[in-house]
Amino acid sequence: MNDNLYGEGMTPPYIKINGMKKFVLFIAALVAAFEMTAQWHPGAEIDINNVRTTLYGTGTFFRMRGGENSEQGYYVPSNDIKSTIYQNTLWIGGLDADDNLHLAAVRFNQVGEDFWSGPLRVTNASTDIFTVMDYHHVWKVSRADIEALIANPNGDIAEDILTWPAHGNVDDGFAEFLAPFVDVDSDGIYNPRNGDYPDILGDMALYCIYNDNYDYNQNGVVEHNETGGEPLGIEIHCMLYGFNAPDDEILNNTLFMRQWIYNRSAIDYHDVYVGYWTDYDIGYARDDYNGCNVKNGYYYGYNGSPIDGNGQPEAYGPNPPSQIIMILGGPTMNADGIDNPKYDSDGNQIVDESINGLGFGDGIIDNERLGMTTFVYHSNNSAIYGDPSEAIDYYNFMQAKWRNGTPIQYGGNGVEGLPGVVGPACKFMFPYDSDPYNWGTGGVIPNGGYNQNGFYWSEETGDNGQPNTPGDRRGLASSGPFTFGSGTVQVIDRAYITCWLSVPFNTDEMDIWATYIKDYFLNNLNNK
């Protein structure tokens, strides 16, 4: 490939260097790799609308791992220091043919790493230190940058457009096509000097590539030190994007994320779950609640009182916002040769994944995508309902089970035997009135009068009608189970919606914001 198309002094990410220079760089790379494990990951900031936040290149969203800016988060409004999310990450786990668990996830990287920068070889799902370092970057591209390129391909071109990771090094076993691009001259080669440009969504997008199968100790063993899980051999492409929409309050307070998850391994995984984990901090971190909406497929954090905090700089004070994380489209369901319906012959909602999934009853066979199939809250402690520490803990949470493998029970704090817990086993914690079909309890009306006479399960009715004590909340929505075949890809779409309501827990108003964004996605973004 012609290096000059990337600009003077610039090379594409995968250029190979031979001889003594390669040996010298290898030694330098080894030193840098050890230093890298003690540093936060380089990222890029998106600031196209009323949200300002940072994407990092190894599976960490919105928060730096360390350094002087380690408290950076999800700032809304964009010109303030108040944040609604402390950390957001993706978890994924599944079983191989012998039912061995393979899992990759991170929370705060306090123990180690499960993800590293860059793609994996399609030949054996491996990578190397040069690839990891070459892709230790987040590309930032705006619609304005693209329009400038289209207008004048021979003029100044933004660096992240010039170095856009469109192609992998095929000679070294990587996929030919990586980051999406518009091939203006239809020659199959990304060349911005010929008018080609990144195929982004929104008015500004951040893009990175990372994997779960790098042997960073150079000892022949891939270690997931954060979870202890066996690697899957997956490569994840991530695009965080937003719109400049000052006249649209809802869209202007929303960011979207699309992730492409490639199974580069030779293993077909079954009973796979993808989890979307969030540590909310609605301004001041110690006075929050959380919950979920089953019908529309989202979970949310909100303040436990009308006034956030006690005057702290990060506190919102009166009228704090609520933060929605919405699963717009999850993994594709296992093929069954039919267009799975949403309603029965009498027009009644079928009580299954069609409640909040995508593609049901649209006349297309086997395009159905899972939505939110479980939601759990866990505490910041070491109890069975506390923070996960081993791979099986993460996998259990994604299946709506506690760390010891027992199912979550309806009511209270979901732990059988504790006050307010009435049962039966359930898939969604704190659904309030959003599960009228009782999908979360297998179609069974919960015990103890819940969902009857307006008595719904939320943090405000957690213990026999008495509210829980607000605090630091961590929530996990998941999609599964599904089969993830070798060489296949799963696409995940979600939205982050920050909404201001008349009171913190106004589920009707919240759902108006969520429904608006879901409709916007379906009408404008779903098939792009």
Q: What digits encode the pLDDT tens for the residues 104-132? A: 999 987 788 999 999 999 999 999 999 99
Opening angle at CA 153, ends 150 and 159, nearest 5 = 95
DSSP 190: -
Do 399 and 428 touch, CB atoms closer than 8 A?
A: no
- Give the pLDDT confidence score for residue 356 in this predicted structure: 98
Q: How far is CA 92 from CA 142, 217, 234, 480, in A?
A: 30, 23, 10, 10
Q: Is the pLDDT of residue 61 over 80?
A: yes
What pTM, to 2 d.p., does this model score?
0.92
Mean pLDDT of the chain: 89
Dihedral sign (CA 499, 500, 504, 505): negative
Q: Which two tokens stand for residue 97?
A: 């043919």
Specify the higher pLDDT residue, 248 or 19. 248
Strands 43-46 and 204-211: unpaired
- In the numeric block, which tokens belong to residue 414? 């979901």
Q: Grade residue 36 by pLDDT with cuts at 50, 70 and 90.
A: very low
**Amino acid type, 100:** N
CB 163 within 8 A of CB 6: yes
Provide the pairing of β-strand 317-318 with 322-329: unpaired
The pLDDT tens digits of the residues spanning 137-191 come to 999 999 999 999 999 999 999 999 999 999 999 999 999 999 999 999 999 999 9
The closest alpha carbon to 57, from 189, 201, 214, belongs to: 214
Residues 6+ apart with CB under 8 A from 271: 94, 95, 480, 481
**C-alpha closest to that of 70 among 43, 33, 35:** 43
The pLDDT value recorded for residue 465 is 66
Distance CA 156, CA 498 (A): 36
Stated length of the chain: 528
Confidence check: pLDDT of 230 > 90: yes
pLDDT band at 480 (very low <50, low <70, confident <90, very high): very high
pLDDT higher than threshold 70 for residue 3: no
Could you give phi then psi for residue 198, rounded to 5 degrees?
A: -60, 140
| Rounded percentage of the chain residues whose pLDDT exceeds 70 | 90
Q: Judge contact between 434 and 294, C-beta under 8 A.
A: yes
Q: In a 3-state reduction of DSSP, which class is residue 476? A: strand
Nearest CA to 283 out of 315, 253, 313, 312 is that of 315
* CA atoms of 42 and 32, how far apart (whole Å): 13
Position 188, amino acid: G
